[in-house]
Amino acid sequence: MSLLSLANVQVAYGGIQAVKGISLHVDAGELVTLIGANGAGKSTTLKAISGLHHAGAGDIRYDGQDIRTLPSFEIARRGLVLVPEGRGVFPALTIEENLAMGAYSRTDRDGIAADIEEKFALFPRLKERAKQTAGTLSGGEQQMLAISRALMAKPKLLLLDEPSMGLAPIMVQKIFEVVKEVAKRGVTILLIEQNARLALSISHRGYVMDGGLITLEGESKSLLDDPKVREAYLGETA
Amino acid sequence: MDTFIQQLINGLTLGCVYAVVALGYTMVYGIIQLINFAHGEVVMIGAMVAYTVLTMLAASGLPPVFIVALAVFAAVPVCMAVGYSMERVAYRPLRRAPRLAPLITAIGISMILQHVALIIWSRNNLSFPQLIPLTTYHLGSSETSATITNVQVGIILTSIAMMAALLALVYKTRMGIAMRATSQNPQVAGLMGININQVISFTFMVGAALGAIAGVMVGTYYGIANYTMGFILGLKAFSAAVLGGIGNLGGAVLGGILIGLIEAFGAGYMGDLTNVCFLNSFLPGFANLCESNANGSLFGSNYKDVYAFIVLILVLVFKPSGLLGERVGDRA
């Protein structure tokens, strides 16, 4: 059984149908990517899954339960955690406090402290600035913090919304290495990216979204070779 | 000099009360950007509940300090319930409405609470029984030196303790960090598993608890309570919160103490400063007035309520973000 499955999900934004009935699934242990142009409905799909904007129709099942109408905090407490577009760190909280908020639904104090240390070991930059407010970090560092913060919840399923957005190429490389590493450690990931080549190169499977519908799906390797994908999303002429 | 020290003490006492009330305004504003105009009425209800307990137990023979403590323990939960209910019933349904809607609702809640209090406690001025004998301490050797009373000492110490407790709550506890996270980005706070409705309710209840204790302090200080007392008090505390920078806890404390001092010094010196003979010494046209009534003044201490609002107007004109208010800027 899939960890996450969507069936005929429709999401409307102020009368406009942004997602027009999509079905997809993510199995435990997978790294799945959802690619597509700006405005294809990718972010809206993630918002619907994480409860930020409820889907009007369809079925969203996570871990065997219907979560379509649950509030976002309930969904987060079940281990489905979204790293939102634009990172969404709390700018006036310190790095440490941001990480502590990531572990809000946990109560094991010692485990939380150990996990914060683990994140610091992974990202020494964050440790150096542990007592500084997150607003003083660069964009890339904020993304590192946002991902670390999400991992503090010990998620079963991590949703990443455009983690490379607005970052320098070298930072993008780093972030993707982190995503790969997180996946290797056993966290299931659904990744949304505009950088289709990178996303497909690290994922197992991919979905291509266009105009609120899923137009293509398959193994990432085969999508990378698909002439339609190459033309539309990888910037190559057929 | 004695007058100066005396007004400093009076101002500090008053300022501590304003600061505690201002914290309630600023906390709620910080978390949902609502100016809860009904907060002054929460303070009034705190004073009224305390009045009821004090009069009921005045003749009971219990130790006075114990009775006052009971009054506080009765006022705090009642006010917390009022604070929780107003958020749950009136403001939560309007969370996504244009900002004017909850603001006008707040004024409506303020009127409802005043009139509920009018029905329960009558329209009369209720005088607090003087349970704790007033002791006055001279701060100098002479009989005319400035004085401080045990009630003033009690108010100042209680206020400082409450402010310290609040700062510890907001900056050191998990709930406090969640409050700050919610105020910065409620959507993302939800993604962290924080139930923001719970955090907002909690914020209202903490603000109301502070208001309840402020109400007991005001009632004990002035010895009187009235169903309209929350209105002016609330507006002054609101002015204090704006002066300090609304949404900023330290600002509310600073603003409250400044407003208290400004009011005390205004009341203490305005008579001298507008004395007709004093004005005659550098302004034309006061000669006749000075001859007929040498002790006459244009304004006296009965204008004390004006100063907070003069300050409010000046702040809004010259520094709308307040003294410590950079919160507006640090919102992402």
B46 pLDDT more than 90: yes
Nearest neighbour of B192 by CB, restricted to A52, A92, A101: A101
Residue B215: give the domain boundaries. 2-330
Residue A32: give the domain boundaries. 4-91+155-232
A237 pLDDT more than 70: no
Q: Residue B57 has what pLDDT?
A: 92
Q: Residue B172 has what pLDDT?
A: 93
> Helix or strand or coil: residue B297?
strand
Residue A24 inside a domain? The answer is yes
Percent share of chain A, pLDDT over 70: 99
The token duo for B137 is 């301490």
pTM to 2 decimal places: 0.91
Residue A126 inside a domain? The answer is no
More confident residue, B20 or A195: B20
H or E stretch at B160:
helix B150-172
CA A51 to chain centre: 14
Q: Residue A230 has what pLDDT?
A: 85
B188 chain-A contacts, CB cut-off 8 A: 84, 88, 90
Q: The complex's ipTM?
A: 0.91
Q: What is the CATH number of the domain that holds B217?
A: 1.10.3470
Q: How far apart are the C-alpha atoms of A48 and A54, rounded to whole Å?
A: 5
B92 chain-A contacts, CB cut-off 8 A: none
* 8 Å CB contact of B194 and A81: no
Residue A213 inside a domain? The answer is yes
Our count of domains for chain B comes to 1
Our count of domains for chain A comes to 1
A62 pLDDT more than 60: yes
Q: How far apart are the C-alpha atoms of B213 and A34, rounded to whole Å?
A: 55
Under 8 Å CB-to-CB from A184, ≥6 apart: which residues?
none
Residue A150 inside a domain? The answer is no
Closest CA to A92 of B77, B176, B151: B176
Q: What is the CATH number of the domain that holds A195?
A: 3.40.50.300
Residue A120 inside a domain? The answer is no
Residue with tokens 């639904």: A105
B192 chain-A contacts, CB cut-off 8 A: 73, 76, 101-102, 104-105, 149, 153
More confident residue, B143 or B328: B143
Closest chain B residue to the Cα of A105, Cα to Cα: B193
Residue B281 identity: S
A65 pLDDT more than 50: yes
Residue A115 inside a domain? The answer is no
Q: Residue A236 has what pLDDT?
A: 67
* 8 Å CB contact of B188 and A50: no
Q: Residue A82 — φ and ψ, nearest 5°?
A: -105, 130
Residue A117 inside a domain? The answer is no
Residue A32 inside a domain? The answer is yes
Residue B114 identity: Q
A132 pLDDT more than 60: yes
Q: Residue B328 has what pLDDT?
A: 47
H or E stretch at B73:
helix B64-85
